[in-house]
Structure 1
C-alpha cells in the first residue's frame, strides 16, 4: 500500500486542497482546520452541513495566516490574530476559546455566506480533547469534527462507485473523494480493509485507527456546485449501514507527531483485528 493523496482544510468546512507533503502534529496535519467559522451571536460552529455554499469558498495558507477567495468577492488576506483577543466558541460538545480574526474577515465571510458569522483561529490546539471513549486522555484535536486525521481508501471509493452504478446505471456520475474530505488517501488495500486496522504506519508516522467515520448530510453536497443530492448516502445506506448510520473512512490519532509524510510513502498495517466486524463504532 502507499499514500496516494494528502488533503488539508485550513478552515473547517471551507474548500480544501491537495498537498504533496505535510507535517503530522499531535492534533492533525499542520495547517489543517486551525480556523473555524462561528455564529456571530452564540459562537457555535457554522458548517457546510447547514450552509452548503461554504464548500465554494477557498482558504489557502499564507506565511502569516490564510487567504480567503471565491463567492464573487475580492480575495482577502487574513493574518493570524492576536491570541489575547479570545472568544468563547463551541464545536459539537467541545467548549473552548479561540482568537478572533477581526471585523474585516468577519464582514467578508458574512457577505460570502449570507449570514452574520465570525472567523476564529485556534492559537493553542492543546485546548480541545478527543472523545475519551475512543482515545487517550492526552489526545488532542484542532477544529476537525472529532479526531486529528481522517483516512480513506481509494479501493473503498471504487466499491461505492460500483454499487452506485449498479443501482443508477453505467452512466451515473462518478462520486469523488472530495465529498468525503479525508486527510490521507491510501491505495493498494482491499476495499473496506481499513475497518480492521488498529495501528498503521504512513512513512515514518505511526497512527492509531480509533473509530470509523459515520457520514453526515455534508457528503451529499456537490463540492463543485454547492447543490445537495441523495448520493453517496443512498448507496452507502445499501452497502455500509451499521447501527443506524452510514460509514466511510477511519479516524486516526498520531502516536509519533512531528513527522512529515509525503505522497508515495509506504503504508503498513502494524496491528489489525479479524476481518468482518465492520468499523469501530459506539457500543450501545
Structure 2
C-alpha cells in the first residue's frame, strides 16, 4: 500500500524536480524554418502504486518556443494529497542559443493555490514573483539569482536541442521561482530496453545519471542542515528519428530513483512528434 508520506508536500516537490527531466523530448538539432510539435504523457509509480500523471506539450520554431507541463496525483495518492501543478514556459532562439523569457507555475493542493513566476529582463538576472507573496522565501532565493539561469522547461531544451551528438553531457543551473538548483548530467552508456521495461518504448537507449544539488532558496538551507548529500536519478533517452532528418531526437522514456527512501519509476505511456507516434508508442 502507498504510504502517506510519499505524497507529502516536500516529497511532491522532489518528485516534480526529478520528473522535470522526463517531462518532454526535444530534437538534437533545430532545423531552419521548421516547427516541431511534441506531446508526451508519463505515468509515475511510487513504491508499487500508481501515484502521478504527467502531460507535456511543446511547439518549437526556428526563432521561438512555448511549452506546457502538468503534474497531477492519481489513484490512492490523490486520496492522501490531491495535488496538481501546471507549468508554462516561453523564450526565443538567437545566434547565441536559447534565451528564456517567462516561466510560470501554479500549484493547487486542498484548494490552496501558489503561483511562482520568473521573468528575464534583457541581460539582467531573472526576477521572481510569488503569489501570495512570501518575503522570506524571496530573501533566501535572491543571492542565487544570477545570469545564466534557465527555468525547468527551458533547461531540457538547452540541454538536448542545442547539444550535438549524444545526450547528457552538461551541467545546468535552474530556477523555478522557489529555489535555484544544479543538475549534473553524465552519460552512463548505451543499452537496450526490452519487454521487461515498463512503458511503451522498446529498443536502444542512452542511460544517463542526473545529480540534483540545491544552490539557493529554502531547499538549499535544509540541504545544508541535513549534511549536503546530493540526490541521484537514472534516465533513459531513446534516440528517435523524425521525418527526413538524420538527426536523432532524444526522447526520455524512463526514469528511476528514490524520493526520501521510497523508490519511484516514471515511464512514457504515449509520445508523438509532429503528430506521429514514436516507434513502440502505445495507442
Provide the TM-score with structure 2 as the length reference: 0.32
Higher strand share: 2
Q: Which has the higher contact order (CA 8 A, sep 6+)?
A: 1
